[in-house]
A and B are shown apart, each in its own frame.
Chain A
Amino acid sequence: EDQVTQSPEALRLQEGESSSLNCSYTVSGLRGLFWYRQDPGKGPEFLFTLYSAGEEKEKERLKATLTKKESFLHITAPKPEDSATYLCAVQARAGNQFYFGTGTSLTVIP
């Protein structure tokens, strides 16, 4: 069964303290792995799509990487405005739905 596990559930960082969020996945043929940011009371906001092992994407302080079993979202020198829940999702080749993890709640303290 396709599934996604994210860790840690929650992460508190001091401003400027770099760290990584993990997304482990099991999928029968990966079409794509997706990272979203979600602020309280809002819908998920698209960040990255990764399609194959070894691929990397960057946007400002965020960098996403992908292996055959997991993805990492690296946050470099985070700022308080990076505080949010970060969701990982996978889409299998045979299907249209996304399978989401439960997310990592990130708090960046000034």
Chain B
Amino acid sequence: DTGVSQDPRHKITKRGQNVTFRCDPISEHNRLYWYRQTLGQGPEFLTYFQNEAQLEKSRLLSDRFSAERPKGSFSTLEIQRTEQGDSAMYLCASSLVQYGYTFGSGTRLTVV
């Protein structure tokens, strides 16, 4: 499968715990994006990497959220001290140019 892979598909965690999600983009894509989607809403931008550099962050990305893309390949998104409001689908997308994202299937986070 040469698409965007996300792991895990589902994560249930207790409030206050830390969680980490992984995204493996399409191998030749140098741009990587994280979005968050809640039920009935469209995806909302969180952050953007070009190669290993994090070039843009949304104000939605509080200090409890951190994203990395070491070596410009896979990326991780960590949420510390999770809150119930963090429950959402976390989507990763990649692209080679400035348009035409390919999305992964997402990680569904439930904070209980």
Interface residues of A (CB under 8 A from B): 4, 31-32, 34, 36, 41-46, 49, 87, 89, 91, 95-103
Contacts and interface: CB of A to CB of B under 8 A. Distances in A.
Interface of B: 4, 6, 31, 33, 40-45, 48, 55-56, 58, 91, 93, 98-106, 108
Closest 7 CB pairs of A and B: A100-B42, A43-B103, A97-B45, A32-B99, A43-B105, A44-B103, A43-B106
A102 B40 contact: yes
A99 to B, nearest CB: 8
Contacts of B48: 96-97
Contacts of A41: 105-106, 108
Given A91-B98, A96-B33, 10 more contacts: A34-B100, A43-B6, A43-B103, A44-B103, A46-B100, A49-B99, A49-B100, A89-B42, A95-B56, A96-B56
Contact of B55 (A45, A46, A96, A102): A96
Contacts of B99: 31-32, 34, 49, 91
Contacts of A49: 99-100
Contact of B103 (A32, A45, A95, A103): A45
